[in-house]
Amino acid sequence: MTEVQDKPTLSFDGKNYVVEDLSDRAKYIVGQLQDLAQQANASRARLDQIEVANQGFQNLLREELSEKPEDPEVEEVPPEQIQ
């Protein structure tokens, strides 16, 4: 009994290509594109973490400031300097 093995394919611009049939340069470019996609996903995840942490610190600051009476001698920091 013969086994049929599906070969990895690439779908690009509406066409399918068998990866092992691509030139070495095309394989290299495909690898670069895959790496860039992974980097983009990692960057999006990191940005999500930063945004959640930023919001958390803003909430902590909000709580801290609401617990203490305002001191009229304290200089107000413009919002653009906080972020």
pLDDT in tens, 1-17: 566 568 999 999 999 99
Structural domain includes residue 59: yes
For the whole model, what pTM was predicted?
A: 0.63
- Evaluate whether residue 1 is within a structural domain: no
Q: How far apart are CA 78 and CA 38, in angstroms?
A: 37
Phi then psi for 28, rounded to 5 degrees?
-60, -45
Domain of residue 54 covers: 23-66
Q: Is residue 37 part of a domain?
A: yes
Confidence of residue 75 (pLDDT cuts 50, 70, 90): confident
- What is the tally of structural domains in the chain? 1
| In a domain? residue 2 | no
